[in-house]
Structure 1
Amino acid sequence: MAKVSFTVCPFMCVLMLLCWSAVVRVHVSGQVDIGDVVASPDAGGRRELVPALFIFGDSLIDNGNNNDLPSFAKANYYPYGIDFNGGRPTGRFSNGLTMVDGIAQLLGLPLIPAHSQASGEQVLHGLNYASAAAGILDITGRNFVGRIPFNQQIKNFENTLDQITDNLGANDVAKSIARCLFFIGMGSNDYLNNYLLPNYNTRNQYNGQQYANLLIQEYTRQVTSLYNLGARKFILSGVGLMGCIPSILAQSPDGKCSEEVNRLVIPFNANIRAMVNDLSTNLPGSKFIFVDIYRMFQQDILGNPRAYGINVIDRGCCGIGRNSGQITCLPFQTPCANRNEYMFWDAFHPTEVVNLILARKAFDGNTDFVYPMNIQQLAAL
């Protein structure tokens, strides 16, 4: 199907966004009953648990929004995507699926398309606005030149809403958006590609707690902006065990995890958890959950990797230098053959097998990993 922009696409035919033509039934009366969900043909006949999923974040969940940007943060080349749909690079920073791809499948939805590449009926179940190198702070990731910071991702979503509302009416859109899920995974680059870089002055201005507080102040404002645009069901993903990624391991003389870096992100994750409580209380009708990626790695995946068939936890499957983490995966580089046995795909990102483990834990895990409820429970509300 040819690519079409939102300004060209006939909304009434294609974009019943909202609990959308693909997931609602129109009764004889002509009214749309948003409570009736049906199976998506692209989701293997699974029952769709929500109408749509909107995604905001960075390279961990970007699926192609950076492809056409003047940016050094791109993954639209082989061997990225070597295990995705016959070996097709899409812009995902993985050998295959990302965490949000796994979540979409568990929700019974098809894979959510990138905002920059959405076409035709692909947009019926949501959009992915995530961008590699993006941060909560606009200045984050400037070393990579082109990227779409979280503030701009929100503006892109607002533009989408404006175009839909012009055709469908504010009340219908508001009711429909309120039933959709909003996944946000931000913060990693605000550390890796801001605070920890020598060409930023951030570390001289703030200690770890002060920086975490600065980030959460801005993050709270941004998430509240999405609430004011109609979002009600939020999934906030924390920063992972950053001191154990190959890029950081490569900087260690003994190749061990950096406890300094791991400790650095603890206050930020604690702030997100507190924000979940505060916003759930202060924003009427809202529901927030916190996905504790840090704890998933620390207590489960890294704690017992062989339970998942993972044997290599200290280097990337595709990369150059110490721990295959000094230079990330280059075009047409030959990756490891046993990718399902690796924790990390490249210097920064997990393999598909780990992404799907994270997705499953976020979807139906217990409160040790997802607080105060999991995604499956949130979807049912």
Structure 2
Amino acid sequence: MAFGISLLSLFTLFALSILSFAYSKAQMVPAMFIFGDSVVDVGNNNYLPCVARADFPNNGIDFPTKKPTGRFSNGKNAADLLAEKLNLPSSPPYLSLLLGKNDSSFLTGANFASGGSGILNGTGRAFGPLLPLTKQVAYYLSVYEHLVHKLGSNGAKKRLSKSLFVIVTGNNDLSSYSRDSDLRKRNTPQQYSDSMLLVLKGQIKRLHIFGARKFVVTGVGSLGCSPSQRSQNEGERCDESLNSQCVSYNKGLKSMLQELKSKKLMDIHYSYFDTRRFTEVRAACCGLGKLNAEFPCLPISTVCSNRSNHVFWDGSHPTEATDRVLVDAIFDDPSHYTFPMNLRQLVAV
């Protein structure tokens, strides 16, 4: 009897190991770690006493649960859709794990993104306490220690070297500069962009020290053509001064990544994604006022009936349909939007 039970137990363990192996092989990378702003926030701000939140209707109207989750979107956002492409589960917000609201071993990653935040610590301060990039990276170091404890130093380093580190930030820094006369008095546009790049460079190097080798870094979009910007301008025109600074920043970002790869962190690989190349449209799907963009998406807001044909969900955030187009582009585009490789190629390195 004991022998028979042992055989059954061994068979069960063998079967489970096969299933586990098959699942791990289905995943294109072991894990994905997300850093950034509201474009990829999956609800971290729900756990902060801030006003930059999206945990109320009509947000989430097309999410599988049909409920708001803290995503600044009608449905899934780019972080969710990237996870789908990679056959990974979408990571819950890190703060929910920190506060014991969810359980995770961090083996498939974590999401540290915080709506309203930026590269610079002062960005978004008017919204209340947020998680700037430096704080997000500090939280990642706690996850690193957890993985070392769980997998051992070599096991953690091996897993992290094949994982993706996705950085989607900078939008709020540049938008803040365009609105803040004090910032403009203290810094020329070039000085401000340089300060952003210096901090970002330092955080990438910090992540590298703690295991990161594969980076996905996005440039900023044509922020001056977002509905929220257009609604403030005569004739609903784009803010070309802000767009020009976006172009300059993206150029500097691309150069910084090339320099890191060629001179300082030669063992990294990266995919830079230029979102600015995508065409902008005028009106938001959810909001109030001119272009549905003078006020944020609120429970009392007007909501378009067909979210699939709108680029913008609210005054500054894309719809799920737009994010699907963007994620498809970064994943498989040969060269038009990505440099020096697309995401599929990065995974294969």
TM-score (structure 2 length as normaliser):
0.89
Report deviation, 1:334.
Answer: 4.2
Q: Which residue in 1 is equivalent to 2:75? A: 96
Letter in 2 for 1:276: L
Letter in 1 for 2:52: A
Report deviation, 1:165.
Answer: 1.8
What's the secondary structure of 2:271's corresponding residue? strand
Q: Which residue in 2 is equivalent to 1:168? A: 151
Q: Which residue in 2 is equivalent to 1:120? A: 103
5 Å matches for 1:303-314?
313-314=281-282
Q: Which residue in 2 is equivalent to 1:61? A: 40
Q: Which residue in 2 is equivalent to 1:108? A: 87
What's the secondary structure of 2:194's corresponding residue? helix
Q: Which residue in 2 is equivalent to 1:289? A: 271
- Name which of 356, 360, 374 aligns with 2:328: 360
Letter in 2 for 1:136: I
Letter in 1 for 2:186: Q
What is the aligned length? 328
Letter in 1 for 2:337: F
Q: Which residue in 2 is equivalent to 1:373? A: 341
Report deviation, 1:341.
Answer: 1.3
Report deviation, 1:109.
Answer: 1.5
Larger radius of gyration: 2
Letter in 2 for 1:99: A
Q: Which residue in 1 is equivalent to 2:209? A: 228
Aligned equivalents of 1:171, 1:122: Cα separation in 2: 17
Q: Which residue in 2 is equivalent to 1:39? A: 23
Question: Per-residue CA shift, 1:241-294, capped at 9, x if unaligned?
Answer: 101111100111101222111111111101111112111122132112211011
User: How large is the Cα RMSD of the aligned pairs?
Assistant: 1.9
Letter in 2 for 1:180: S
Report deviation, 1:332.
Answer: 4.7
Report deviation, 1:39.
Answer: 3.2
What's the secondary structure of 1:38's corresponding residue? helix
Question: Gaps (5+ residues) in structure 1?
Answer: 1-24, 28-35, 41-45, 303-312
Letter in 2 for 1:114: P
Letter in 2 for 1:234: F
1:315 aligns with 2:298: no
**Are residues 48 and 206 of structure 1, via their aligned partners in 2, closer, same or farther at CA, if it must alter by over 3 Å?**
same
> Residue 107 of structure 2 contacts residue 147 of structure 2 at CA under 8 Å; is this kept in 1?
no
**Are residues 37 and 261 of structure 1, via their aligned partners in 2, closer, same or farther at CA, if it must alter by over 3 Å?**
farther
What's the secondary structure of 2:129's corresponding residue? coil
> Residue 247 of structure 1 contacts residue 326 of structure 1 at CA under 8 Å; is this kept in 2?
yes
Question: Per-residue CA shift, 1:312-355, capped at 9, x if unaligned?
Answer: x2111111111111111113534111111111100110111001
Aligned equivalents of 1:350, 1:220: Cα separation in 2: 27
Q: Pick the structure with more helix per residue.
A: 2
Q: Which residue in 1 is equivalent to 2:232? A: 251
Aligned equivalents of 1:203, 1:250: Cα separation in 2: 22
Letter in 2 for 1:333: S
What's the secondary structure of 1:328's corresponding residue? coil
**Are residues 374 and 37 of structure 1, via their aligned partners in 2, closer, same or farther at CA, if it must alter by over 3 Å?**
farther
TM-score (structure 1 length as normaliser):
0.82
**Are residues 164 and 39 of structure 1, via their aligned partners in 2, closer, same or farther at CA, if it must alter by over 3 Å?**
closer
Question: Gaps (5+ residues) in structure 2?
Answer: 1-15
Aligned equivalents of 2:322, 2:332: Cα separation in 1: 16
1:151 aligns with 2:134: yes
Aligned equivalents of 1:158, 1:37: Cα separation in 2: 28
Report deviation, 1:166.
Answer: 2.7
> Residue 113 of structure 1 contacts residue 126 of structure 1 at CA under 8 Å; is this kept in 2?
no
Question: Per-residue CA shift, 1:89-131, capped at 9, x if unaligned?
Answer: 1110000111122111111212222112243358441111000
> Residue 279 of structure 1 contacts residue 288 of structure 1 at CA under 8 Å; is this kept in 2?
no
Q: Which residue in 1 is equivalent to 2:177? A: 195
- Name which of 243, 247, 257 aligns with 1:276: 257
Report deviation, 1:135.
Answer: 0.8
Identity %: 36
- Name which of 343, 346, 353 aligns with 2:314: 346
Letter in 2 for 1:214: S
